Structure 1
């Protein structure tokens, strides 16, 4: 049996995101069909539309989602029908060299569903990040489903499926922010703001938000920023140093992912401090730093993949922090929209007027 459902598809580079009928197959071995409840509108979905990820059109957009398991295939042990889940795009294999080292958060062989969802004419769809969640039902690998509790707001906790987890994880998992440390975050969009929230959750006492938009900087205070710097008007490196007794921050997180912001992060940290790159650069970007400075400043230069998270470990733990009032996931939900509102949500995202638009089905 297959399912005929409505989903948001982009047929070609730059084409509009439009609702189309999608055929979802019954789950095969190791697969699950999930009824989507909510799905956040992430910058990655816009990059897919613009051809910034790859050219495997048509794309089924959406990936930052909560849902309920509707059907499972053979050999599925991770979840059962009826489970409420957050979808993730790094279903670990358990067998690669990273998994065998006991570091499954770095799994080098993550997997997705084997079968393909299609349009009515049989054209195979490429689901965004192996999920495709702007749809009534989607097909995923069962390992992409992480069971969560029933009580929390689906729109809020579903954002852990991508952007919010990337930011929080950059602070907690990758940077390993410690109590009493100073943290600067460059770029206060959704991921950067989540990194600020993660730094606060980890116990940082000086948290410096850097951006070129005063509205975003003001918003960053809500999530834990103790100081703000508008780098359009001020030298970000000098301001961060002045706010940290002249030394620089223990941790600087680049949530933009451009050579100039990474250079700011590199020089704004204390000696032996840590730089974390979580903003995603484009393939054409190049970085040039004096090698002597890399050696002489010591510390660590890290990249954060999906917040170096392990969904089975991190999702429910962070939901528990949310329910205890220590993590404001509600604050990331700027608006709740329908499947037909994706193009308008992309426009608001580009204008910087929302943290997250969330599709509710």
Structure 2
């Protein structure tokens, strides 16, 4: 740890960089500075390949190329800035992309999971020629080391496998939180989940953990529906051959589900979720729509059906609360996070992992480092 008066080193590591819209990623030399005030240097042990990384590569997030990709990560703190008191070198951490500020109106009202002033590291990581990199979701963990805000590090039990722990950094946490935090699924509930990829199947696993008695997985891909059954779905529906709304009603005595989670995020799937819920039921949108999408619903139906229409951003999670608890449940054998790791790959396997993701062949490919 360097004091303010000391010179800081720069670490030369390998990282996965998206250089231009739609171009295949490449392995580049990345320069990572020692941490300054409020920052932490983390040696990355594992990082999942998420759809969001692909969205960055395709220019669907913004056009601030080049990007240092990767954000579903776990690793070990190597050094911390001078004013960091709650982290120490050697701590095993999961990285998160929402370091809460503790001072905004949401934090002051005791709702830090809605923090309006989340932040990232101040210093920049660069290419060897000095080109500034934009780290994906403020993390950039497809690299041997990364620099983050100290608040983006959450300490968890080091007994967990890093490839498993890192999944809480984004997609799996989004699905678990959509069910437990946003949807408030509880024992005896009926739940339908539209879209059985990583996020949707995490919602299914969480619903089983919460004690839901009817859990319906809906997708167009029989392979994903098989994963849903393995993770706790009591029923599955292939939407290519059946009306999802009628199928859900048929499995819930004609009423609809107490909680319907849209893990796809299109107008069509949202309408299905809206009409597949019971009167006064809850719809949770956790799938991410694209900017051009619009939704039209009869306002009388919105009024007459009551209940709640909720959006779930990162599963409404509070990392300091949720990550250690979920890791503990996994280590107790109650939450099968390891089932989401379809394969482990080297750093140069990210582009192939994107192709497998698009074909629906994996829940998660995870980059692991020696």
Name the structure 2 match of 1:113.
121
Question: Given the alignment, which residue of 151, 175, 185 partners 2:193?
Answer: 185
Q: CA deviation at 1:15?
A: 1.2
Name the structure 1 match of 2:5.
none
After superposition, what is the alpha-carbon deviation per residue over 1:99-151, rounded to whole angstroms, capped at 9, x for unaligned?
A: 00000011010000001000011110000000000000000000000011111
Q: CA deviation at 1:251?
A: 0.2
Q: CA deviation at 1:250?
A: 0.1
Name the structure 2 match of 1:138.
146
Name the structure 2 match of 1:211.
219
Answer yes or no: is 1:222 the counterpart of 2:230.
yes
Q: Give secondary structure in 1 for the equivalent of 2:205.
A: helix
Answer yes or no: is 1:333 the counterpart of 2:341.
yes
Instruction: Name structure 1 gaps, 5 residues minimum.
Output: none
Answer yes or no: is 1:174 the counterpart of 2:174.
no
Tell me the TM-score normalized by structure 1.
Answer: 0.99
Q: CA deviation at 1:218?
A: 1.2
Q: Give secondary structure in 2 for the equivalent of 1:122.
A: coil
Answer yes or no: is 1:252 the counterpart of 2:260.
yes
Question: Given the alignment, which residue of 351, 362, 365 partners 1:354?
Answer: 362
Q: CA deviation at 1:325?
A: 1.0
Name the structure 1 match of 2:84.
76
Q: Is the 8 A contact 1:117 1:139 kept in 2?
A: yes
Q: CA deviation at 1:49?
A: 0.2
Name the structure 2 match of 1:47.
55
* Count of residue correspondences: 361
Name the structure 2 match of 1:95.
103
Q: Give secondary structure in 1 for the equivalent of 2:252.
A: coil
Q: Give secondary structure in 2 for the equivalent of 1:53.
A: coil
Q: 2:158 & 2:130 partners in 1: Cα distance?
A: 36
Matches within 5 A, 1:312-327: 312-327=320-335
Name the structure 1 match of 2:43.
35
Name the structure 1 match of 2:352.
344
Q: CA deviation at 1:82?
A: 0.7
Q: CA deviation at 1:208?
A: 0.2
Q: Give secondary structure in 1 for the equivalent of 2:216.
A: strand
Name the structure 2 match of 1:152.
160
Matches within 5 A, 1:290-309: 290-309=298-317
Q: 2:15 & 2:364 partners in 1: Cα distance?
A: 19
Q: Give secondary structure in 2 for the equivalent of 1:13.
A: coil
Q: Is the 8 A contact 1:272 1:297 kept in 2?
A: yes
Q: Is the 8 A contact 1:62 1:132 kept in 2?
A: yes
Q: Give secondary structure in 1 for the equivalent of 2:269.
A: helix
Question: Given the alignment, which residue of 282, 305, 315 partners 1:274?
Answer: 282
RMSD (Å), alpha carbons: 0.5
Q: CA deviation at 1:157?
A: 1.6
Q: Is the 8 A contact 1:338 1:359 kept in 2?
A: yes
Q: 1:74 & 1:103 partners in 2: Cα distance?
A: 28
Q: Is the 8 A contact 2:157 2:328 kept in 1?
A: no
Q: CA deviation at 1:78?
A: 2.6
Name the structure 2 match of 1:10.
18
Q: 2:79 & 2:215 partners in 1: Cα distance?
A: 45
Q: Is the 8 A contact 2:42 2:77 kept in 1?
A: yes
Q: 1:74 & 1:14 partners in 2: Cα distance?
A: 40
Matches within 5 A, 1:225-244: 225-244=233-252
Q: 2:163 & 2:215 partners in 1: Cα distance?
A: 27
Q: Is the 8 A contact 1:78 1:143 kept in 2?
A: no
Q: 1:197 & 1:157 partners in 2: Cα distance?
A: 16
Q: Where do 4+ consecutive residues of structure 1 move more than 4 Å? A: none
